Structure 1
Amino acid sequence: MTTVVGQINKTINSIISAYNKASIWGKMLTFVTLFFLLVISFRRFTIFKEGFEQNEQFVFKSGTDLYDKFYADVYDYLVFNNMKDEFEVGELVNKTSPTSQSIILDIGCGTGHHVSQLADKGFNITGLDISPAMIAKAKELYPQGNYKVGDALVQGEFNPNSFTHILSMYFTVYYFQDKRQFFNNCFQWLMPGGYLVVHLVDRKHFDPILPPGNPLLFVSPQKYAKERITSTKVKFDDFAYSAKFDLNEESGIAKFTEKFKNDNNGYIRKQEHIMYMPDTQQIIDEAQGCGFILEGKIDLLQCQYEYQYLYIFVKPN
């Protein structure tokens, strides 16, 4: 702990030194940037004021059941990062060159942020999610968007050659145990020459701390820790949130366990995400085995998501 604090202090001192040497305009820009980041951090902890209500003292949820109305309502306060989404959308547009004629599918669209940002740029995009509650939240936030409740592992969800682009963002692919079925479906749904963009991580090194649980804002505390930090703790107005990421490298299965504890009555909601996380190369091999060509990779380090990437696959013409 002393080493971590010392390293953090050293970093802070370096920032202060750089600030003191900056020009007046440089100092003004630094101040505005820090103020903006503090506002974002403050809003994360204060906007969400609703607690969770349940009749039982203890509730456990897993699989698709955990994506209910409560989780859909709190989800963005746990994981949403607008700067990351804007960076991803900008890179997707630059690397895959969609046009007004493009037809895009976002698999695992969640609360609809990527769908909204791409739609705002004039693209024809549909969001797909297996959770009715998440789709309802997306429609609440972005009522003009196109959304569909459905399962990406069901080939009949869409006709062959329906899309020019398919996106699978923010860990979505890891929820599919049968990744070959996922890639086969995407291959069928894409037009020849179409793009499949998949979010993949270095499972042993990415930072599993959720954004509101990071005390250093946009600096990863993993850089200053002797051992990888895998837990998150956040205090909301009337409940406490905690989470832990556990990876079994041998089996390739990870568990992301979340707990919500009500301040008033002590009632607990616990939920468990099962993620199928083989080595990245194995996932790439499965995609290529289904006919895809790996065209490129976008490093999310530039938006402070180290060891996380967007892999760009292409269906041959």
Structure 2
Amino acid sequence: MKQFFNPITNFYHKLSFWAKILILIVILLIVVVTFKKNDKKQEGYQQNDVFEFKSGTDIYDDFYSSIYDQLVFSNIKDNYEIGKIIEKTQPTSESIILDVGCGTGHHVAALEAQHIPAVGIDISSSMIKQAKEYYPDYNFVQGDVLKAMQFRANSFTHILCMYFTLYYFPDKLTFFKNCMYWLKSGGALVIHVVDRDMFDPVIPPANPLLLLSGQRYADKRITESKVTFDDFIYKSNFDLPEGSDTAKFIEKFTNRKTGKPFRRNEHVLYMESEDRILTLAREVGFIMQGEIDMIKSGYEYQKLFILVKPS
């Protein structure tokens, strides 16, 4: 053993002072990276040891916020939405846009990249934490948009309510009233609305056709998703009973290594018809200005409606 180490020792002693320092730094980095990898693995297994059932706002905890983008993020969709919203509503550097249900903050970042001031709000503190980690220079707040005192009157030129956020509100009338209160005169509210019977509920990573919906080629509507990630297997199913306005989106997570289920999420979506949603908006005084069809971004039977507060 001594004979093995002697050449290494002699080589090390012949090195310059700075070369020795560099070698020590490299060794230290290797140790730190190895430790972090092992620590992350242990954390993941600990999280999967106990089965968890989550519903309502409890779904959006640290675990779900950390994997959220893997499940639903689409750069193509986001860029298309923001591009069309800017084209149709003409915000400027003097505008101030509120993004309701901002999630991990990508819409806010896309607006700020165009020098349009934006604020993101989400009821989940974990989502806000994730958004701030991604975009520390932008403005995100944790709060409840069903409370009128969340913001002052006439605070925003635009309010966005994107990607199914509207369907988490059982009381949409209150939401529309609050938006009317927070918007400046002539301000725009943009809401994401789907054809509940026709839209594709398969999550992006489970759709191999990318910009084409697999629903077009299926005899029966596909409602299930299955995706295998590095550490877990994900399954989901969308269920809207015939004649009902209430849908459930069930997500199941299974530890890939052990094969044991470790989590189930139950999302409840309040999916009134498109006509009913727009009627509620008109009841509080909004005027329809236009609509944006999402089909060009690969999201068929989905639209953004632009509603305006009268001047």
So what's the TM-score if we normalise by structure 2? 0.84
State the shift of 1:217 in Å.
2.4
Maintained 8 Å contact 2:48/2:255 = no
Q: How far apart, CA to CA, are the structure 2 residues paired with 1:267 and 1:276?
A: 27
Q: Which residue of 2 aligns with 1:112?
A: 105
State the shift of 1:249 in Å.
3.9
Maintained 8 Å contact 1:253/1:277 = yes
Q: How far apart, CA to CA, are the structure 2 residues paired with 1:309 and 1:267?
A: 35
Write the mapping of 1:1-317 to structure 2, written as runs, cut at 5 A. Answer: 51=44, 53-54=46-47, 57-265=50-258, 266-317=260-311
Q: How far apart, CA to CA, are the structure 2 residues paired with 1:303 and 1:255?
A: 25
The one-letter code matched in structure 1 to 2:271 is: M
Q: Which residue of 2 aligns with 1:21?
A: none
Q: Identity rate of aligned residues, in percent?
A: 55
Name stretches of at least 5 consecutive residues in structure 2 with no aligned partner.
1-40
Q: How far apart, CA to CA, are the structure 2 residues paired with 1:248 and 1:155?
A: 33
Name stretches of at least 5 consecutive residues in structure 1 with no aligned partner.
1-48
The one-letter code matched in structure 1 to 2:142 is: V
Maintained 8 Å contact 2:202/2:222 = yes
The one-letter code matched in structure 2 to 1:54 is: Q
Change in Cα spacing, 1:279 to 1:215, as seen in structure 2 (3 Å) is same
Maintained 8 Å contact 2:232/2:254 = yes
Task: Find runs of 4+ consecutive structure 1 residues off by over 3 angstroms.
Answer: 49-53
Q: How far apart, CA to CA, are the structure 1 residues paired with 2:181 and 2:143?
A: 16
Q: How far apart, CA to CA, are the structure 2 residues paired with 1:207 and 1:64?
A: 24
State the shift of 1:174 in Å.
0.3
State the shift of 1:216 in Å.
1.9
Maintained 8 Å contact 2:82/2:110 = yes
Change in Cα spacing, 1:123 to 1:260, as seen in structure 2 (3 Å) is same
Larger Rg: 2
State the shift of 1:58 in Å.
1.9
Change in Cα spacing, 1:270 to 1:52, as seen in structure 2 (3 Å) is farther
Maintained 8 Å contact 1:198/1:311 = yes
Instruction: Indicate the SS of the match to 2:268.
Output: strand
The one-letter code matched in structure 1 to 2:210 is: L
Instruction: Indicate the SS of the match to 2:233.
Output: strand
State the shift of 1:56 in Å.
5.1
Offset from partner CA, 1:116-147 (integer Å, 9 cap, x none): 00011111110000000000000011111100
Q: How far apart, CA to CA, are the structure 1 residues paired with 2:106 and 2:163?
A: 12
Instruction: Indicate the SS of the match to 2:197.
Output: coil
